[in-house]
Structure 1
């Protein structure tokens, strides 16, 4: 199972992901990096066929400036991803003898960034459609997306769009931890990137560990308030 999620904050955007890849055909899971830089002011993640996403990563690395400097970032992303999807759809062999569950070449791509004081969260679907989610404030892709959306809704009363990216990082990590508890195929290590006017910063393992301690304090503070109100 894969989950990549992004949330809008007062001063930026936070995007995060788990690292577990499920290979149904081989009946196995393994860790892989799902969150990647997109130039110095954005980040992206993907869900679906790894062969497609590998080509997308190479393409984005080579063309990040073209994408981010475009007046329409969504169209620029679409222009890069569509030829890759077309290639894999055209060369995919669906009927492999002895392998009835060999997957598909479908892949979802989600990117997020901050430009001219405004957030953007964009998705390119397997059919090539562009989805815009900055106005919604939260989006997720992957087989764990529905659970992530639910977890995000349960945190909506904290008004993430009115809070800093530091709080946004804690909220995204908390969602990922909740999915880790409820799904065996969502797991660590987690990846997080905060993006603001200064650019994109991918959190180190130590920074994520420290953020985990902040989340623990947050949860304990909630328990203390509940105890005073109801116990």
Structure 2
């Protein structure tokens, strides 16, 4: 589904929130056909969604104004990774792949093989293999330097990259346009009860 961010859609959401929109069996709302993209093949549907939200991407990829007014929301990290992989292939800039350094606290017996650690992506951590390109938009995953605009959730555009740092431009807010370097720093998932150990991942802090 794609959202049409205009006064009509804002009013539509308000009517749903206020309970004045007609419902189906009190639990469901029928969405208008003009804001839907029908599901066919998984990859084909994703490409249609990207084309609808990011039309003229090649022409406007360097524009922070264009990119900052568009986003695709998803339900799980797995879907986010799939969308990111499809999106980045559509950018024409120079590419670099960063690999994380993973470890586990108090694992003196090496019970957690590195290959296994590399294969998981707990909530709040970037993937082990992070592919980026120049002009690609990313989101910061930690409070790195709040005074200079580098907070969890800050949107940035990748402008340059080195082996251990990424040069990025902040998009939006009072620090918009400011260029910053994002270093590799170790991160651990917060309160992830699905893991019986404490994973530490050192990578560029983006998704």
State whether TM-score is above 0.5: no
Normalised-by-shorter TM-score class? under 0.3
- Which of structures 1 and 2 has the larger relative contact order (alpha carbons within 8 angstroms, sep 6+)? 1
From the CA coordinates, give the structure whose radius of gyration is larger.
Answer: 2
Structure (1 or 2) with the greater strand fraction: 1
Give the TM-score normalised by structure 2: 0.26
